Amino acid sequence: MDFDIVDDRLNSGAPEGPIETRWDRHRFDLKLVSPANKRKYTVLVVGTGLAGASAAATLAELGYNVENFCIQDTPRRAHSVAAQGGINAAKNYLNDGDSVWRLFYDTVKGGDFRARESNVYRLAQLSTQIIDQCVAQGVPFAREYGGTLANRSFGGAQVSRTFYARGQTGQQLLLGAYSSLMRQVDEGRVRLHARREMLDLVLVDGHAKGLITRNLVTGQLERWAGDAVLLCTGGYSTAYYLSTNAVNSNATAAWRCHKRGAFFANPCFMQIHPTCIPLQGRAQSKLTLMSESLRNDGRIWVPKNKGDARAANEIPEGDRDYFLERIYPAFGNLVPRDVASRAAKHICDEGFGVGSTGLAVYLDFEEAIARLGRDTVEQRYSNLFEMYREITGENPYAVPMRIYPAPHYTMGGLWVDYNLQATIPGLHVLGEANFSDHGSNRLGASALMQGLCDGYFVIPYTLGNYLAGQKPGSTRSDDPAFNEAETSVKNGVEKLLSIQGNRTVRDFHWELGRILWDQVGMSRDPDGMRRAIGEIRSLRDQFWQDVSIPGSGDSLNRSLEYAGRVADYLELGELIAIDALHRDESAGCHLRLDHQSPEGEPVRNDQDFSYVAAWEYTGDLSRPRLNRERLAFENVHLAVRNYK
């Protein structure tokens, strides 16, 4: 593997001193833009999920001009909408021992000590205000009979700090942010541009000052000039083809920024979610996640005897192996996602898996129904049970569900400093698209928290610090930098259309997904990763010779859109594999077969790898440059994660 290392060049810019007061002190040090000047600045916000919509609305409320872009037909469809389980906040409403410090501690530990302490503390601190904001917007969170907000325990937490709205928390939070955004559109402070795909970032004097977008209906390329760019475009799990993400989720905007100079951090940190409906066949286009709140009451098991062909209900208690409860008696079925996913994979690899493929384990509610009554189980999970029944045709009240892990969330993303600014000045990255808060494993109900925290409560302060040093409206879309970027996008589109090969885009995407899932998936070994790198390179060459994209560039052409995204994934996929191969340790989701304890738990190498790997594009995809940001753990001391 070829790469150069530039050591310790990256500095987060987080303040020193007691962690409890870092954000307060930092906010005071940040420069402000005066109220009268805000309207002179234009901010380009790409994406309308929790991070994008909350940022666009809040910046407009402050008085900035906002241009907001999304690939969907309306902002309300961004993939945040699909998050089911909930959002964490350290309110300690249940008086059960929660605190800002505990949420901070849990997140750093849960991330297996590969997140930045300062950012995580700030996230925990601001979490409580997010709930206040959402309630004020009219988000109908679940409530107790007395009228207070309801909380539940979620995904490995030993306190109940998760707020939820049935199984549709993401939808309700997104509609809250969307409603604030729509209010700003009505007030004329946000201009909305739906069905636009960002295809390049425009740099003027090294600063992010514009975008090139493609109008997905007319095919027209458009130029947008502004004073800063916010990238809120989500994660890249669909690099694996089958994932829980929406089929249009993609990394194109982030990847194009990377190729313009933004470093890509920890790309191999990809979370596999344990409770998904298993794969049924080659034609399948996505994997459906069921909220892991199911693990609060469901018990996970496989038959004790290999090849036990009996129906689940006919297997007596004594012949069942509740393997999570057996291996992790303290946390049982509520161990963190990476631990649960890996345990399921191991037990299936050993031949105990169930269902027609042997790649599934049971998630059983029989005991919960007996203990709580069917009504309570229905109240808690009816929508998930219904979803399962629709997809599989089986009734989970009567027979156990079958589940298997699936790619779900990417902790990696563009590198950002404490102000959420990328290595390109003026480019800020929010939500899943950045890397900063979840280390190598994200805890459940923390993604919604981070997206909204970045958009509502961090960027409104930190963006001002950047803008205060910029002369407003100084960039015009006839700047030569726009000509260069537009030409480069135009050539890219024409090149794709000119190939006229014989294989579909989906074919290539499927093949890439297979390589990544097999070699850079739930368990990784050096030979496999080396093989993956070679295979991805060769697949990329084939793509550029043999992909078939019918239709033209001057109309709505979904094959063309898809081809651009898969072309970028064929590049990012290689970087994922390179990063995974270079990280010669296990950490969180990144389990290396050559670095595990005798019990199969990941073994970190803090001496050599307690850093963020931020990759710099050099013009040669196979020879990226590694920049390291050293991580210090001053408040949560490095320890082996132990859930036993």
The answer to whether 636 and 117 are in contact (CB under 8 A) is yes
281 makes contact with other proteins (CB under 8 A): yes
Q: From CA 477, how far away is CA 172, in angstroms rounded?
A: 37
Candidates 152, 161, 214, 337; catalytic one: 337
Report in angstroms how near the CB of residue 479 gets to other proteins at its nearest: 31
Strands 228-231 and 401-410: unpaired
333: how many CB neighbours lie within 10 A of its CB? 22
Report in angstroms how near the CB of residue 81 gets to other proteins at its nearest: 5
Beta bridge partners of 615: 264, 626
How many of the chain's residues bind other proteins (CB under 8 A)?
84
- Catalytic annotation present for 374: no
Report in angstroms how near the CB of residue 136 gets to other proteins at its nearest: 4
Beta bridge partners of 286: none
Residues in 46-75 at the binding interface with other proteins, rule: CB under 8 A: 54, 57-58, 61, 72-75
Residue 318, class by beta-carbon neighbours within 10 Å (0-12 exposed, 13-18 middle, 19+ buried)? exposed
Closest C-alpha to 254, from 78, 115, 434, 421? 434
Tokens of 329: 């008696």
Residues in 120-139 at the binding interface with other proteins, rule: CB under 8 A: 129, 131-138
Taking the chain, what is the end-to-end CA distance rounded to the nearest angstrom? 37
32 makes contact with other proteins (CB under 8 A): no
Report in angstroms how near the CB of residue 194 gets to other proteins at its nearest: 6
175 makes contact with other proteins (CB under 8 A): yes
Q: In terms of residues, how long is the chain?
A: 644
The answer to whether 184 and 57 are in contact (CB under 8 A) is yes
35 makes contact with other proteins (CB under 8 A): no
What separation in angstroms does the CA of 395 have from each of 385, 399, 401? 8, 6, 8
Instruction: Single out the segment in contact with other proteins by CB under 8 A; choices: 277-285, 346-354, 530-538, 572-580.
Output: 277-285
Among 16, 186, 317, 599, binds other proteins (CB under 8 A): 186
Q: Is 615 helix (H, G, I), strand (E, B) or coil?
A: strand
Report in angstroms how near the CB of residue 280 gets to other proteins at its nearest: 5
Residues in 541-600 at the binding interface with other proteins, rule: CB under 8 A: 548-551, 555-556, 558-559
Among 280, 305, 313, 487, binds other proteins (CB under 8 A): 280
178 makes contact with other proteins (CB under 8 A): yes
Among 82, 204, 539, 603, binds other proteins (CB under 8 A): 82
DSSP string, 546-609: HB---S-SSS--HHHHHHHHHHHHHHHHHHHHHHHHH--S-BTTB-BTTSB-TTS-B---HHHH
Residue whose CB is less far from other proteins, 45 or 315: 45
Task: Identify the helix (H) or strand (E) that includes residue 407.
Answer: strand 401-410
Report in angstroms how near the CB of residue 385 gets to other proteins at its nearest: 13
Residue whose CB is less far from other proteins, 430 or 581: 430
Which value, in Å, is the radius of gyration of the alpha carbons in the chain?
24
87 makes contact with other proteins (CB under 8 A): no
Q: Is 364 helix (H, G, I), strand (E, B) or coil?
A: strand
Site string for other proteins, 377-416 (x = CB under 8 A): ---------xx--xx-x-----------------------
165 makes contact with other proteins (CB under 8 A): yes
Among 160, 171, 434, 440, binds other proteins (CB under 8 A): 171
Q: Which runs of consecutive H residues, i.e. helices, occur in 239-336?
A: 252-259, 294-297, 323-327
The answer to whether 437 and 33 are in contact (CB under 8 A) is no
365 makes contact with other proteins (CB under 8 A): no
Among 39, 40, 183, 625, binds other proteins (CB under 8 A): 183
Q: From CA 181, how far away is CA 228, in angstroms rounded?
A: 19
295 makes contact with other proteins (CB under 8 A): no
133: how many CB neighbours lie within 10 A of its CB? 18
Instruction: Single out the segment in contact with other proteins by CB under 8 A; choices: 201-209, 432-440, 482-490, 500-508.
Output: 500-508
Residues in 506-525 at the binding interface with other proteins, rule: CB under 8 A: 506-507
Residues designated as active site: 337
